[in-house]
Each structure stands twice: as structure tokens, then as C-alpha cells.
Amino acid sequence: MKVVVPVKRVLDYNVKPRVKADGTGVDLANVKMSMNPFDEIAVEEALRLREKGAATEVIVVSIGEPKSQDTLRTALAMGADRAILITHEGGVEPLGVAKLLAKVVEEEQPGLVILGKQAIDDDNNQTGQMLAALLGWAQGTFASKVEIDGERVKVTREVDGGLETLDLKMPAIVTTDLRLNEPRYASLPNIMKAKSKPLANKTPADYGVDVTARLSVVSVEEPPKRQAGAKVADVDELVMKLKAMGVAK
């Protein structure tokens, strides 16, 4: 069974985003970019399935500007077997990404596609569900545990209030939550090795997919700033303030 893992290049999660003065977006010039943290978890899970003998090949896919190649090389250095880069300048919305991934899935015929539950830049949390819809496959979203049993996969999901376990028919879509695993670091020799692993270059046109945006961004603004309040000297003063607010009697 092949496993396909889509990965996205995003602003590094430690970097504080700065809104551009002209209100057109967030400034991404000269800032550190990395693999979306949820996608690292997805790559890790695919690698673990291969190590357990449940998967034979791990194929990573990224859609975006040419520099997304760096993100794919990172995934290859973690241990993925080969990569597909679908180059498109400017952003592609989840619907467009899902349509492109559906074409990749048609070609590769994987048993599972493992995606991150959301990208930390646009915070959409849509692509996996959309891909499942387009393929007519089952979806196991926000997974904290994945167990393959023949033609079925059991997925434990993090839901409001606790955990829920579903049994899905394969092929299926899984999206990763934070607690699914702890992603490995790529070692230096593996980073070197990754440079010679196969990476196919494609464009949306190669797949006949129209990725024209359905949403236009009117403006991007900073959220209203909170004013830092006053510090209190001791617990008594805090109790007094809480009482004044009616929080305590």
C-alpha cells in the first residue's frame, strides 16, 4: 500500500506574523518558513506505517511556489521515498488543493492519504475533508491514533468533550491532530541522501485542474490590540478586584 502525504510550506510557527502596512496580507518577505507542524506529524505517521510493514511507499506532495521544494526535501530527509511538486505562484485555496490531490490519488492509487488537520497560516481545516468528498472516501479527521487492520482503518479522533473511535473502509483520508505522534528530526546523512531522491515537477495544468481562487481577500488587518492592565501587589488586592467585578462574593 502506498501512502500519500501532502505537505505545506508555511511561516514558521515561532515567528510572530506581521500584517503588511497596505493591508494586503501578512509579510512573508525574508522570514523563516517551515513545514506546517501538522504535516510533519502526517509524514511521521506514514513513515511509522512503512516501518511496521503496513505501507510500502511514502509519497509526499506539495503545491505552491517553487520554494516548496525545500519542504519536500525536508520530508524526504525524514524518510519519505519520493516527492511531487505542483508549482503555482500565489496561493491555492483548499478546494483547488483538494482537486489537485484527487488527481495525484487517481495516478498513485494509495491506500491512505494522511494530511495535517489544518495549516497554521490560513487556519482553514478543510483540505482533507474536501479531498475525501471529491474521492468519495471515508474520512478520519483530527486523529490521535491510527490502526490498520486489513482493508479497514480504525481512527481515534480528538473531538470536543473527549475521544471518538471510528472504523473506516480503505482507501481513506486521515488528518492528524497534535497528539498522534512526535515527529523525528532529519539526520545530516539523511538530509544529504534526500537530495538524490526523486522529485517530480508538475503544474496544475498538467492535471487539467483550474485553481482560480473563489475567495478574494478584501483586506488583512491587525486584530484590535488589548491594553495591558495593571498589576496587583498581592492576593488580597486580586480578591478585591475579583469581588468588584462580581466574579466572587
Partner 1 sequence: MKTLVWVEHDNTNMKDATLAAVTAASKLGEVHVLVAGEGCAAVGEQAAKIAGVAKVHVADDAAYGHGLAENVAPLIVDLMGHHDAFIASATTTGKNIAPRVAALLDVMQISEVLSVIDENTFTRPIYAGAAIATVKTSDAKKVLTIRGTAFEKAEAEGGSAEIEAIGSSGDKGLSSFVGAEIATSARPELTSAKIIVSGGRALANGENFHALIEPLADKLGAAVGASRAAVDAGYAPNDYQVGQTGKIVAPEVYIAVGISGAIQHLAGMKDSKVIVAINKDEDAPIFQVADIGLVGDLFKVVPELTEKL
Residues 63-122 that bind partner 1 (CB under 8 A): 93-95, 98, 117-118, 120-122
Q: What are phi and psi of 7, to 5 degrees?
A: -130, 150
CB 108 → partner 1: shortest distance, Å? 20
Of 31, 192, 205, 242, the one binding partner 1 by CB under 8 A: 242
- Note whether 52 binds partner 1 by CB under 8 A: no
- The rounded distance, in Å, linking the Cα atoms of 67 and 65 is 5
* Contact pick of 70, 106, 167, 206 for partner 1 (by CB under 8 A): 167
Binding residue for partner 1, selected from 115, 131, 143, 209, defined by CB under 8 A:
131
Distance from C-alpha of 207 to C-alpha of 106, rounded to nearest angstrom:
11
Half-sphere exposure of 29 (CA within 13 A, CB side): 4
Residue 120 buriedness (CB in 10 A; 0-12 / 13-18 / 19+): middle
**Among the candidate windows 61-69, 126-134, 184-192, 198-206, which touches partner 1 by CB under 8 A?**
126-134
- 168 is a contact residue toward partner 1 (CB under 8 A): yes
Amino acid identity of residue 217, one-letter, is V
Query: Considering only 79-87, 174-182, 184-192, 201-209, which stretch makes contact with partner 1 by CB under 8 A?
Result: 174-182
Q: Which parts of 142-161 interact with partner 1 (CB under 8 A)?
A: 142, 144, 154, 157-161
Residue 219 as a binder of partner 1 (CB under 8 A): the answer is yes
Q: Which residues contact 86 (CB under 8 A, 6 or more apart)?
A: 61, 62, 63, 64, 100, 104, 202, 203, 204, 206, 207
Among 138, 194, 209, 211, binds partner 1 (CB under 8 A): 138
